[in-house]
Structure 1
Amino acid sequence: MLKLGYKQSQGDHTLFVKNSSSGGVTALLVYVDDIIVTGDDLEGMESLKKSLVKEFEVKELRKLKYFLGIEVLHSREGIIISQQKYIVDLLTETGKLGCKPANTPIEMNHRLGDALEDAVVDKSSYQRLVGKLIYLSHTRPDIAYAVGVVSQFMHNPKESHLRAVYQILQYLKGTPGKGILFKKGENLTLEAYTDADYAGSMVDRRSTSGYCTFLGGNLVTWRSKK
């Protein structure tokens, strides 16, 4: 990719981008043997595909529909990404497919701490489950805070922490199809919002901050971090 004149992203080393002399952009994202080629430079995209075919055996799947558990739906309004199948598979795996849905991913004003008096739960199972929820946060900013909370106890999970994880699953049961819409438009205004609580952690009294940024009215980045 570097020989073809592409620059490797410093934020994500699996992303390569090239700007054409006409102002267009071609981008390639790769994970093992799954590749996305996109951009607004049609000639650049075709040239890249021909270069890839010379080096590798490539099967083109046309318009993107599914990538690493993320579903992509093209509509008149724009592009919608979600992980509905991933959620259904996760609920099935954990035996929560028939559970009662919850209205929120975490209790309001929760007081989750180390819970030293609680019974210990299986550490490896807890870590695998929370890890899958972390990946799900790529298309579900509404669970980012709750997942950030339960991930703080992966070193020594207790029953109360596992109950909080189960509430996230119950919330997902009632909202499996939610995702993010990237709307079409010419507006590229950048907006950012941030907030924080004050000494909210029961463990070390540290604060939790959160932010989200919109480009042209489309949500592009978000985070919740203690």
Structure 2
Amino acid sequence: MKDLGNLKYLLGIYVFKSKDVLLLNQRKYALQLISEVGLSGAKAVSTHLEFNYKITSVEYDQYIGSSNDLELEDATTYQRLIGRLLCLTITRPDICFSVQVLSPFIQHPKTSLWEAALRVVRYIKRSLGLRVLLKKGTESTKLIGYYDSDWASCPNTRRSLTGYMVKLGDFSISWKSKSTSQ
């Protein structure tokens, strides 16, 4: 074994540690993602998804006879982008919901889904400074859990949506939202 000194980078995550603070961010990774997608010159947006944005599957569009939103010819670009966004959620819990909404369509992505994923990247461009900040404190050992559900609210399947979040002190340590069968 070899001592490499204080930890600075780990799996693309910048780590800053002081006496009372631990800071984690992926600014370099986010800048690389923005550049690879080709949005370096694009205008940033203040929200990660449009308000009341309805996402539908290819099967649903075929069922209702809609043909204005075509399936992408090459699904790998969408799959790669969603995978990169998933990696970014480690230090960016603000985009977790958007990525969770876009990821079920990874096998058959449509043009509208690609545009929605690019909007998430444009949101990241606006908020590059966001990071996870962990502080020492007296409340750091208090464990709090939240749970919520919404009956039959998924527009595609009419399944119920549930979600939870667990906090240790002021910091989120676990969260998930999912569609459940009725």
User: Normalization by structure 2: what TM-score?
Assistant: 0.86
Distance 1:110-1:197 versus aligned 2 partners, 3 A rule: farther
Residue 58 of structure 2 corresponds to residue 109 of structure 1: no
Residue 99 of structure 2 corresponds to residue 147 of structure 1: yes
Q: Identify the residue that residue 25 of structure 2 maps to in structure 1.
A: 82
Q: Identify the residue that residue 70 of structure 2 maps to in structure 1.
A: 119
Q: Shift of residue 76 of structure 1?
A: 5.3
Distance 1:167-1:198 versus aligned 2 partners, 3 A rule: farther
Ranked by relative contact order (alpha carbons within 8 Å, sequence separation 6 or more), the top structure is 2
Q: Identify the residue that residue 41 of structure 2 maps to in structure 1.
A: 98
Q: Shift of residue 149 of structure 1?
A: 0.8
Q: Deviations over 1:7-43 (max 9, x none)?
A: xxxxxxxxxxxxxxxxxxxxxxxxxxxxxxxxxxxxx
Task: For 2:96 and 2:25, locate their aligned partners in 1 and report how far apart those are by CA, in whole Å.
Answer: 15
Q: Shift of residue 75 of structure 1?
A: 4.1
Question: Which structure has the highest helix share of the two?
Answer: 2
Residue 178 of structure 2 corresponds to residue 225 of structure 1: yes
Large movers: runs of 4+ above 3 Å? none
Q: Shift of residue 77 of structure 1?
A: 4.3
Q: Identify the residue that residue 16 of structure 2 maps to in structure 1.
A: 73
Q: Shift of residue 193 of structure 1?
A: 1.6
Number of equivalenced pairs: 169
- Aligned residues with identical type, % of pairs: 38
Q: Which runs of 5+ in 2 are unaligned?
A: 62-66
Q: Deviations over 1:153-178 (max 9, x none)?
A: 11110011111101100100001121
Distance 1:94-1:213 versus aligned 2 partners, 3 A rule: same
Residue 154 of structure 2 corresponds to residue 201 of structure 1: yes
Distance 1:198-1:167 versus aligned 2 partners, 3 A rule: farther
Alignment of 1:7-22 (within 5 A): none
Range moving further from structure 2, 147-156 or 206-215 = 206-215
Range moving further from structure 2, 165-174 or 111-120 = 111-120
Task: For 1:76 and 1:170, locate their aligned partners in 2 and report how far apart those are by CA, in whole Å.
Answer: 35
Tell me the amino acid that sits aligned with residue 196 of structure 1: S
